[in-house]
């Protein structure tokens, strides 16, 4: 995966989701549609994991259907939570407040993260510790070779 050259400001929740997305889908998407399919697949997995939690199954049985205006408020709050704390936390919260809004929330997240992941037709990859370590070792090696070369040149 390529690293976006310009700085794209992403929130903690977005970073968390993109890290999971990159682990689950190693191949760089070539089209926006492919990126959407990858994002949809990852969000579906998260949704399924959360649906199977005992506390969520219990919550779902207690909620009557909620008005559309209340659902929009819940969706907005859950989306903000996804950006701050992560998709997992947001989906858990939406199940607690309005389990019937999960599908709408799923679509909202797919749209947002597909766009973010495919921005400028370059997928975002968060650099991990090992990539930084490799770059650091390369720079140290390059500096050491340069130092030795200069010493050989100027000591003649």
Residue corresponding to tokens 């500096």: 143
pLDDT at 59: 57
Helix (H, G, I), strand (E, B) or coil at 100: helix
Q: 5 or 73: which carries more pLDDT confidence?
A: 73
Q: What digits encode the pLDDT tens for the residues 57-82?
A: 655 555 555 555 566 677 888 888 88
Stated pTM of the model: 0.51
Least confident of 15-24, 77-86, 117-126, 136-145: 117-126
Rounded CA separation 32/19 (Å)? 18
Contacts for 2 with CB less than 8 Å, ≥ 6 apart: 28, 122, 123, 125
Helices of type H across the chain: 12-24, 32-51, 54-60, 68-85, 87-97, 102-117, 129-154
Rounded to an integer, what distance in angstroms lies between the CA atom of residue 50 and that of residue 84? 18
Query: How many whole angstroms separate alpha carbon 9 and alpha carbon 12?
Result: 10
Q: Residue 3's pLDDT band (boundaries 50, 70, 90)?
A: very low
Spell out the residues 6+ positions from residue 26 whose beta carbon is closer than 8 angstroms to its own.
Answer: 1
The arithmetic mean of pLDDT across residues 95-110, rounded, is: 79
């Amino acid at each position: 995966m390529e690293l976006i050259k310009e700085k794209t400001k992403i929130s903690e929740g977005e970073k968390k989701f993109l890290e999971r997305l990159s682990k689950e889908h190693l191949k760089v998407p070539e089209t926006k549609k492919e990126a959407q399919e990858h994002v949809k697949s990852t969000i579906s997995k998260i949704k399924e994991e959360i649906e199977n939690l005992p506390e969520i199954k219990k919550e779902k049985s207690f909620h009557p259907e909620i008005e559309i205006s209340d659902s929009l408020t819940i969706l907005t709050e859950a989306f903000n939570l996804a950006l701050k704390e992560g998709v997992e936390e947001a989906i858990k919260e939406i199940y607690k407040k309005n389990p019937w809004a999960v599908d709408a929330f799923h679509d909202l997240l797919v749209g947002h993260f597909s766009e973010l992941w495919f921005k400028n037709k370059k997928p975002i990859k968060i650099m991990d510790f090992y990539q930084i370590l490799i770059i650091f070792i390369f720079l140290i090696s390059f500096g050491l070779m340069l130092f030795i070369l200069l010493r050989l040149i100027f000591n003649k």
